């Protein structure tokens, strides 16, 4: 995920530049009741829209809130061990990803695997028990509501109830359908501030304790909407209306990205409220979540950029590579169909992608998915079998590079292709193994603890190649 690493570096540079420019002073922000709040919302945060709880169907509220409590009670919501600036940290919130079957979502060098939300008309999978299946279906219902409601909202974005004029950044009623709201995943979050002593104060405006710090949501289709359902389950956050900011309420904070001239905006949320970040708001602005007094769920529905993030995609990639492996079922022998450098390069790219973007990502999260959903078990076993065949393909190519009977030109040609991929594979294997045995990883219970898989001893005769590739890399360098 080198693109993510570059983004993180750029983000850190901008952050340090902003802190230096502030020189310790606080930036202004506005909340309901402050003079100029509505004008600020309409002019600088016009792509933020709120749907009041009373406008959402009561039956949908009941189903969604019951399903969120079920996910918590059944242990489905867990803190992720993610990677930030070359170190592992736990997320402040506990979460689980739901979505279309075979979809994933990437953030902070972590790939989450969606528990299917059993959309209407989809084939029953039997991957969850009846109670969890009902919870997934309820969040699928919420997703369908958001698709329709957010699409309408994109059209009028600022028509306030009863005012009859197209303003900006207000509580919205309805409008013609729009694109960018075909939500394919939902990240369900939970936090109890009473049990979260590690929360930090918001650093730029003094808005209060942050449950989620300033960020852009990652891995989304550009210009797509993000829809959020807010549920404060203890009921302590009374409706703040348009009066003073209620310190007990959960709030969403927004600011124009890397801008110290525009005041920030804080929008308090009543339990059951929804809000939409429309169009390119997620790109041009940053948002944070400010903790209230009660425990709180959010279901955040996104249009994840899944061109390389679905099971169908990675299965097709495996087929592309394995078509160059010829296997004799009678003798059990294997040969490569091509030694063309472009073919070898393509196959080794896929080899690394399967191992590091899928297998190691999945098993780093332990057996958490298998605890409550079996959907991914068989596909991951099939991907691991395809990866094992790619190990054979690498072994066959290495044999060519090391074969003294071959011309030196051919040996060098093959070695030149293999060396960078095996060097990367060696480095990343060592990193993943270290992460799996880190101090933080060791604090997790056995069924959540990271697993270094695939993993094997170098003298394992059932494996085509050793886990540690240093000696092979040295041999390739000698060929070159």
Q: pLDDT (tens digit, 9 = 90+) per residue, 116-163?
A: 997 655 555 678 889 999 999 999 999 999 999 998 887 665 433 322
pLDDT of residue 118: 76
Count of C-beta atoms within a 10 Å radius of residue 337: 11
Burial degree of 20 (CB within 10 A; 0-12, 13-18, 19+): exposed
* Helix (H/G/I), strand (E/B), else coil: 288: strand
Tell which residue, 363, 422, 12, has the closest CA to residue 215. Answer: 12
Burial degree of 219 (CB within 10 A; 0-12, 13-18, 19+): middle
Tell which residue, 440, 359, 383, 395, has the closest CA to residue 84. Answer: 440
Residue 42 has pLDDT above 70, yes or no: yes
Tell which residue, 138, 142, 172, has the closest CA to residue 155. Answer: 172
Tokens of 275: 């809000």
Length of the chain: 480
The whole model's pTM is what? Answer: 0.89
Residue 6 has pLDDT above 70, yes or no: no
Tokens of 357: 């973007």
- CA angle centred on 471, ends 468 and 477, rounded to 5°: 125
Give residue-wise pLDDT tens across range 394-442: 999 999 999 999 999 999 999 999 999 999 999 999 999 999 999 999 9
Tokens of 180: 């960018």
pLDDT of residue 432: 97
Q: Output DSSP code: residue 137.
A: H
Give pairs for 191-197: CB < 8 Å, separation 24+: 191/92, 191/93, 191/94, 191/291, 191/295, 191/296, 192/295, 192/296, 193/291, 193/292, 193/293, 193/294, 193/295, 194/295, 196/92, 196/291
Cα–Cα distance between 372 and 115 in angstroms, integer?
Answer: 9
pLDDT band at 177 (very low <50, low <70, confident <90, very high): very low
Cα–Cα distance between 289 and 261 in angstroms, integer?
Answer: 21
Tell which residue, 114, 119, 140, 116, has the closest CA to residue 128. Answer: 116
Sign of the CA dihedral with 328 first, then 333, 338, and 343 last: positive
Determine which of 77-86, 180-189, 205-214, 244-253 has the lowest per-residue pLDDT on average: 244-253
Cα–Cα distance between 311 and 209 in angstroms, integer?
Answer: 38
Residue 460 has pLDDT above 60, yes or no: yes
Tokens of 160: 């306030």
């Amino acid at each position: 995920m080198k693109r993510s690493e570059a983004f993180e570096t750029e983000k850190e540079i901008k952050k340090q530049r902003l802190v230096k420019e502030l020189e310790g002073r606080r930036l202004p922000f506005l909340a309901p009741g402050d003079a100029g709040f509505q004008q600020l919302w309409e002019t600088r945060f016009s792509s933020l829209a709120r749907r009041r709880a009373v406008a959402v169907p009561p039956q949908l509220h009941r189903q969604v809130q019951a399903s969120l409590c079920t996910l918590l009670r059944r242990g489905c919501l867990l803190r992720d061990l993610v990677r930030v600036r070359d170190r592992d940290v736990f997320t402040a919130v506990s979460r689980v990803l739901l979505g279309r079957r075979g979809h994933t979502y990437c953030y902070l060098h972590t790939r989450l695997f969606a528990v299917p939300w059993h959309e209407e008309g989809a084939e029953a999978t039997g991957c969850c028990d009846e109670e969890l299946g009902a919870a997934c279906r309820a969040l699928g219902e919420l997703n369908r509501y958001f698709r329709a409601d957010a699409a309408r909202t994109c059209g009028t974005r600022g028509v306030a109830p009863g005012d009859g004029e197209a303003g900006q950044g207000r509580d919205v009623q309805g409008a013609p359908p729009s694109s960018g709201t075909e939500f394919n995943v939902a990240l369900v979050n939970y936090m109890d501030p009473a049990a979260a002593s590690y929360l930090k104060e918001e650093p730029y405006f003094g808005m209060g304790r942050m449950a989620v710090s300033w960020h852009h949501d990652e891995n989304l289709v550009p210009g797509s909407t993000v829809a959020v359902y807010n549920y404060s389950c203890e009921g302590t956050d009374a409706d703040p209306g348009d009066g003073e900011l209620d310190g007990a309420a959960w709030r969403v904070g927004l600011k124009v990205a890397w801008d110290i001239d525009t005041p920030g905006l804080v929008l308090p949320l009543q339990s059951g409220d929804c809000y939409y970040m429309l169009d390119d708001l997620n790109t041009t602005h940053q948002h944070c979540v400010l903790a209230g007094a009660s425990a709180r769920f959010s279901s955040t529905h996104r249009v994840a950029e899944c061109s390389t993030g679905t099971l169908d995609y990675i299965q097709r990639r495996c087929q592309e590579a394995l078509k160059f492996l010829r296997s004799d079922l009678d003798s059990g022998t294997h040969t490569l169909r091509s030694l063309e450098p472009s073919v070898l390069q393509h196959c080794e790219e896929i080899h690394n992608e399967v191992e590091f973007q899928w297998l190691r990502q999945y098993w780093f999260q332990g057996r958490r998915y298998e605890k409550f959903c079996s959907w991914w078990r068989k596909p991951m076993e099939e991907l691991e079998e395809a990866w094992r065949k790619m190990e054979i393909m690498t072994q066959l190519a290495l044999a060519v590079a090391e074969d003294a009977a071959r011309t030196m030109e051919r040996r060098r040609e093959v070695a030149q292709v293999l060396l960078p991929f095996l060097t990367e594979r060696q480095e990343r294997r060592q990193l993943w193994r270290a992460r799996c045995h880190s101090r933080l990883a060791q604090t997790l219970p056995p069924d959540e603890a990271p697993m270094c898989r695939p993993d094997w001893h170098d003298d394992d005769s059932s494996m085509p190649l050793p886990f540690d590739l240093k000696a092979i890399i040295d041999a390739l360098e000698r060929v070159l």
